[in-house]
Amino acid sequence: MSTFQAPKGTYDLIPPNSATYLAVREAIAAPLKNSGYGYIETPGFENVELFARGVGESTDIVTKEMYAFETKGGDRLALRPEGTASVLRAALEANLHKAGNLPVKLWYSGSYYRYERPQKGRYRHFSQVGAEAIGAEDPALDAELIILAHQAYRSLGLSDFRILLNSLGDKECRPVYRAALQDFLRGLELDEDTRRRIDINPLRVLDDKREAVQERLIGAPMLRDYLCEACKAYHEQVRELLTAAGVAFEDDAKLVRGLDYYTRTTFEFVHDGLGSQSAVGGGGRYDGLSEMIGGPALPSVGWALGVDRTVLALEAEGITLDIPSATAVYAVPLGEEARRVLFRSVTELRRAGVATDFAYGGKGLKNAMKSANRSGARLALVAGERDLAEGVVQLKDLASGEQTPIALDAVVDEVRRALG
């Protein structure tokens, strides 16, 4: 074993489990690629100020969980704790919003980092697939993103998840609610940390998961009672579009999400099989974020779905994804001449799109056939000196054990035929 281990709260993705993670990423990305979203990739670290301004200085993410550091050149950087601020920064920097086709629709996949107390489903390094639609204020866009996430989860076979939905109002009605909530919270017995939040972002107090805090919040004013007519109408349209698409959701008046930039629509995907870490993904509308980070007014909406949590959800429902074997054909040479000839056949098969592997390291027949079976291949190509003298190789069906000689110059066609 190595002297070193993965840092606390992180994990390595290794075969065969890594194939499930890849399949989950692909399943989440598939509906996005089919709906006009282009792929974007941003650096793993950004200027600290991007997250302080965008995510919010009062959030746990910025105050407690962000990996921040100073470079040798004196720059203050942070490992990205979430994707939206980085994607919006990149879109603004590249002037994508000026290309004349709004909304700018982008999807991304990558690793994110938060200094948290590690537990199952909550890691310091985690993987997400996300989507952002930048530059348009339209309830159909909010509904589209929720429907696409729902479609992705359904395509994986998941059924025990729920969609929670709420509206956080806008710059017209939220200040009125904020003042009412602050008045209510100031009358409660709360710890110093929570009291500090009352002044900075009182909505975050509603998001506190501690039972003692939740008990004190009974009777707190509800945002839905303070929504202006425009926000009410907008939210009702989102609800109607989801219902018309056959996507079930639950109204959750306390849902605020853990980031300061959300406005109007906010939503969360929760899975009942995951215990305390039940949120598998979520998102919402963030109409003011562009201005917060120095850009023009660009109303936008997006989400991020946790790959790790989605894999846990699959396990909770007992779902095993049908992942094709990485190898279809395994070549077993017996002798030096066979090594040269079969290696050429392996290269031809790969160029023809057939997943093929080779018995490296000069293994004997018995060990090579064990490797062939372990590889998950359906067929083995076996050749010795006598076979080569006759201009053939043996094509063996690894499930039935049936073996057929095939012409050396027809390997690609014969293998393709055998694989169907």
Quickly state the pLDDT bin for 38 (edges 50, 70, 90): very high
Where exactly does CATH 3.30.930.10 map onto the chain? 17-173+227-316
Q: Is 3.40.50.970 the CATH number for 17-173+227-316? A: no
Q: Which residue has the higher pLDDT, 100 or 242?
A: 242
**Which residue from 231, 50, 219 is spatially nearest to 139, judged by alpha carbons?**
231
Q: For 71-118, what is each residue's pLDDT tens digit?
A: 999 999 999 999 999 999 999 999 999 988 899 999 999 999 998 787
Quickly state the pLDDT bin for 259 (edges 50, 70, 90): low
Q: Are 133 and 35 in contact (CB under 8 A)?
A: no
Distance between first and last Cα of the chain: 43
* Alpha-carbon gap, residue 371 to 169, rounded angstroms: 60
Q: Concatenated DSSP letters for 80-134?
A: -S-SHHHHHHHHHHTTGGGSS-SSEEEEEEEEEE-----BTTB-SEEEEEEEEEE
**Quick check: 120 pLDDT over 90?**
no
* Alpha-carbon gap, residue 195 to 339, rounded angstroms: 73
Q: Dig out the tokens for 109 from the structure.
A: 């996949």
Percent of the chain with pLDDT over 90: 68
Residue whose entry in the numeric block shows the structure tokens 């002297």 = 3
What distances in angstroms separate CA 222 from CA 176, 275, 288, 326, 377, one per listed residue?
12, 26, 22, 53, 59
**Quick check: 208 pLDDT over 80?**
no
Residues in the chain: 420
**Quick check: 188 pLDDT over 80?**
yes
* Alpha-carbon gap, residue 34 to 133, rounded angstroms: 14
Span 397-417, mean pLDDT?
A: 95
* Alpha-carbon gap, residue 63 to 193, rounded angstroms: 11
Quickly state the pLDDT bin for 59 (edges 50, 70, 90): low
Span 246-261, mean pLDDT?
A: 82
Helical H segments across 172-296, by residue range: 174-186, 192-200, 203-206, 211-216, 229-244, 289-292
Where exactly does CATH 3.40.50.800 map onto the chain? 329-419
For the four alpha carbons of 266, 269, 272 and 278, in that order, the dihedral sign comes to negative
Quickly state the pLDDT bin for 263 (edges 50, 70, 90): confident
Q: Are 354 and 328 in contact (CB under 8 A)?
A: yes
Among the residue ranges 116-120, 159-163, 225-229, the one predicted with the least confidence is 116-120
Q: Are 308 and 127 in contact (CB under 8 A)?
A: yes
Q: Which residue has the higher pLDDT, 200 or 101?
A: 101
In terms of Cβ atoms closer than 10 Å to its own Cβ (0-12, 13-18, 19+), residue 366 is: exposed
What distances in angstroms separate CA 80 from CA 46, 61, 219, 322, one per listed residue?
6, 10, 37, 33
Long-range contacts of 113-120 (CB under 8 A, 24+ apart): 113/44, 113/67, 113/79, 113/80, 113/81, 114/61, 114/65, 114/66, 114/67, 114/81, 115/64, 115/65, 115/66, 115/67, 116/9, 116/65, 118/8, 118/9, 119/277, 120/275, 120/277, 120/312
Q: How many CA atoms lie within 13 A of 58 on its CB side?
A: 16
397 membership: H or E segment, kind and range: strand 392-397
Q: How many CA atoms lie within 13 A of 143 on its CB side?
A: 18
pLDDT at 51: 86
pLDDT at 60: 65
In terms of Cβ atoms closer than 10 Å to its own Cβ (0-12, 13-18, 19+), residue 28 is: buried
Superfamily grouping for domain 329-419? Anticodon-binding domain (3.40.50.800)
pLDDT at 166: 94
DSSP bridge partners of 265: 167
Among the residue ranges 175-189, 255-269, 276-290, the one predicted with the least confidence is 255-269
**Quick check: 324 pLDDT over 60?**
yes
pLDDT at 309: 93
Q: Dig out the tokens for 101 from the structure.
A: 């086709």
Quickly state the pLDDT bin for 257 (edges 50, 70, 90): low
Q: Dig out the tokens for 317 from the structure.
A: 């429902």
Give the count of beta carbons closer than 10 Å to the beta carbon of residue 67. Answer: 15
pLDDT at 243: 98
**Quick check: 415 pLDDT over 90?**
yes
* Alpha-carbon gap, residue 39 to 109, rounded angstroms: 9
pLDDT at 269: 96
Chain mean pLDDT for the chain: 91
